[in-house]
Amino acid sequence: MRAVDYRKYHDLESYLFGEVSSRFRRNGTLSAFDFFCIIIWKANRAKSRVAERLRAHGYDDLGRAVTALTSAIAKARTDRAKMKILVSDWGFRLPMASAILTVLYPNAFTIYDVRVCDVLGNFRNAQYRTHFDALWSEYEEYVKAVRRAVKAKHNLRDKDRWLWGKSFCDQLQKQISAKFEKVSQENGTEA
């Protein structure tokens, strides 16, 4: 048996977009370990809620639940159908559903993130849509806006990273200028 090089988990994003994406394309499913690596990467605090959501579908074994979910996604014929499985069938909210799909299909999906929404100046309310068709329509517009917003010839994933990085830099510069003393009215965090 080969020894595991645990360093690969230090940079979880590289592990996800390298090994996990490739493994999903090859196998059409994920292990519970790889699936929860996606969950932890997007929002570590959500892992217990996601496990509860999977068990609520009648699965005692998380591995079987993840296999059922991810193989259904792999069999779905359209991007819309893939998203609908996560949102309508399994109860994921847009930020997490888009993160999962971004790892599995990085050329078609991008992560819905409020930082990116703020840079784009739109789409903050997409995550609250309760009617799937409205959510999907707005998410499609969001993806188009991400593609258009960065003029450099980056792939979709790098455009998302660029926009997130811009938001991070802008926010930190404002916080430094304010000496970390003011509270932002926009997001309730220290500015």
Report which DSSP code applies to 183. Answer: B
Q: Which of 41, 43, 95, 104 is nearest to 69 (CA)?
A: 104
pLDDT truncated to tens, each residue of the chain (191 aa)?
788 889 999 999 999 999 999 999 999 999 999 999 999 999 999 999 999 999 999 999 999 999 999 999 999 999 999 999 999 999 999 999 999 999 999 999 999 999 999 999 999 999 999 999 999 999 999 999 999 999 989 999 999 999 999 999 999 999 999 999 865 555 555 54
* The dihedral formed by the CA atoms of 121, 127, 132 and 138, expressed in degrees to the nearest 10: 10
Q: What does the domain layout of the chain look like in residue ranges?
A: 1-107, 110-191
Contact 15, 37 (CB under 8 A): yes
DSSP 95-162: HHHHHHHHHH-TTT-----HHHHHHHT--TTGGG--SHHHHHHHHHHHHHHHHHH--S---HHHHHHH
pLDDT on residue 2: 81
pLDDT on residue 106: 96
